Structure 1
């Protein structure tokens, strides 16, 4: 229940553009609004539709600060579109300052995506606190942060030709190891001295000097890595408040979360209702990852060879790689979604037993929170670290495609794993059900709700 103190607390929320970054921060916004905070969300015009359900649910205390999408400057030396996207957001420094100075009751803190490290300087200029929101887990974030700390090491590794060369992160708990090809492509393309990259690198390192940090994770999933981040930051203003997922009936309900489904949710759920419990494999590679022609061929061949019922979510750009007649050949076993899928509603359905996933952090949390066994096929970013967490440390998943982003699985072996994944006695399935219970407890009465309350209290005391 909101207190009179928290209702006077005004927080500025700044999202980064991709859906995988926006959606969890809006989930957090929903939780904070229900605790009585006043919130202004900085959002681009193209993403306003993602915010509208929250505005309709919280018309009094939620406000929007909409800017037209900044045009990324052409920066030929950086050679990376993400760098240009981040640089483009910095054009909003002065407009935000102008808005802040004209506001009758301006925010006392800003929470912004970890790619927007430049907002540290913005907060300092405005005389307010800045908090980091990480759309990645604590392990993935820590590895990414370590990579950017040592430019000498970066330059040394940039000259390596051995894609399988292993890097050990010995300062982290469990001393994780990743191959060169499994590390952030953005980091691997770093060019020392390039203004765009150096600007971005400064922002990443500035995150660790922020007043606080919020993770969409929970103690039972990543406790040792949350403790590591606290040690690195030198204080305890690090909150693990996840999994940040909507309930069935909230403003950000599971069927409409993140956008409109490419198929009527009712039709999809009716199809699932006809299936036995834990009998369906859900296959999806998130909002941004795509498959090569060889990878799609291996995947669809495996689905045909297997005996499982499945839902296959395919991007429009990948449809050309699906062979003619595939849908007819799999008949009633398969349901294909061409575009955005209501993923959370699918995973929460009792018929779904396993999940072929790229291991993006949102998908990882949604799978764990639904008690669904993960079949890991990471492609880039923090996904290899997340797969390592699921398979090697938590034992709630099985690798179906190892190696680098372009690795192609063996269709026959993949078909076998698909069939095996639905067996009730799989140890991974038993463990993920227990982890699901831990996640549920964390957000209802455990560490995550305690951290969320602590976070609100700290804001109110400002």
Structure 2
């Protein structure tokens, strides 16, 4: 009797800078450990991914339903490549809307395989997926291709918005050792336009899913 391989589900955020590292990790897991990999994303991203899968790979590409028009986005807006900054941020904010479809998808895999996935590896913006994984008894992990220092800085900046509290172009980062300065020109655009109290900042700072949006959700 052939032993069934353990299945790992991988679900990156809908951006090339997230999908590409996830795919690289999927190929490594398949090669080194012999797991079966189920790679989840929206229809257009799956279509774009298919040519990148090696012919000898058994990675399974599985579509999750998503209609961008239902969430205040232009039709077929399934990747940040096609969105200006305000709508890119909106795509992150509405990502929990994928939770019911993701739960149905995992339920289908459990029925198909007769057991839950060994692990669900999801994007740093999909912290809600931890709840789904735990419901089915699957281990959950967040994969972030960024460096630890950068993510710590990201966390500090979002929590404190320190650049709004100084009259200098350079400012210290709260929580970092003395001498760690950053220049306003080093800030990405979405930090530069952030205003205390606006909907985007409230979503990050006051949401129960704060750590999810900051990329620091641990499960």
Give the TM-score of the pair, scaled to structure 1: 0.37
After TM superposition, the structure 1 = structure 2 runs for residues 34-433 of structure 1, keeping only pairs within 5 Å, are 34=31, 35-48=33-46, 49-54=48-53, 56-59=55-58, 62-67=59-64, 69-71=66-68, 73-74=71-72, 80-103=86-109, 104=111, 105=113, 106-148=116-158, 150=159, 153-154=160-161, 157-158=163-164, 160=166, 162=168, 164-168=169-173, 171=176, 176-201=180-205, 202=207, 203-206=209-212, 207-211=215-219
Q: 1:87 to 1:170 in 2, by over 3 A?
A: closer
C-alpha displacement of 1:200: 4.1
Superimposed CA distance per residue, residues 435-460 of structure 1 (whole angstroms, 9 cap, x where no aligned partner): xxxxxxxxxxxxxxxxxxxxxxxxxx
SS in 2 for 1:190: coil
Superimposed CA distance per residue, residues 383-418 of structure 1 (whole angstroms, 9 cap, x where no aligned partner): xxxxxxxxxxxxxxxxxxxxxxxxxxxxxxxxxxxx
Please tell me whether residue 10 in structure 1 is matched to residue 12 in structure 2: no
Structure 2, unaligned runs of 5 or more: 74-84
What is the Cα-based RMSD across aligned positions, in Å? 3.2
- C-alpha distance in 2, partners of 1:134/1:96? 20
Q: 1:126 to 1:183 in 2, by over 3 A?
A: farther
Greater relative CO, 1 or 2 (CA 8 Å, sep 6+):
2
Structure 1, unaligned runs of 5 or more: 212-462
- C-alpha distance in 1, partners of 2:197/2:136? 29
Asked whether the equivalents of residues 26 and 51 of structure 1 are also in contact (C-alpha less than 8 Å), the reply is: no
Asked whether the equivalents of residues 145 and 204 of structure 1 are also in contact (C-alpha less than 8 Å), the reply is: no
- C-alpha distance in 2, partners of 1:175/1:130? 37
- C-alpha distance in 1, partners of 2:218/2:66? 26
Q: 1:95 to 1:28 in 2, by over 3 A?
A: same
Superimposed CA distance per residue, residues 135-163 of structure 1 (whole angstroms, 9 cap, x where no aligned partner): 21222122112223x3xx32x6436564x
Structure with greater Cα Rg: 1
C-alpha displacement of 1:88: 3.5
SS in 1 for 2:149: helix
- C-alpha distance in 2, partners of 1:98/1:168? 42
- State how many pairs are aligned: 196
Give the TM-score of the pair, scaled to structure 2: 0.72
C-alpha displacement of 1:29: 0.5
Q: 1:159 to 1:171 in 2, by over 3 A?
A: closer
- C-alpha distance in 2, partners of 1:37/1:65? 16
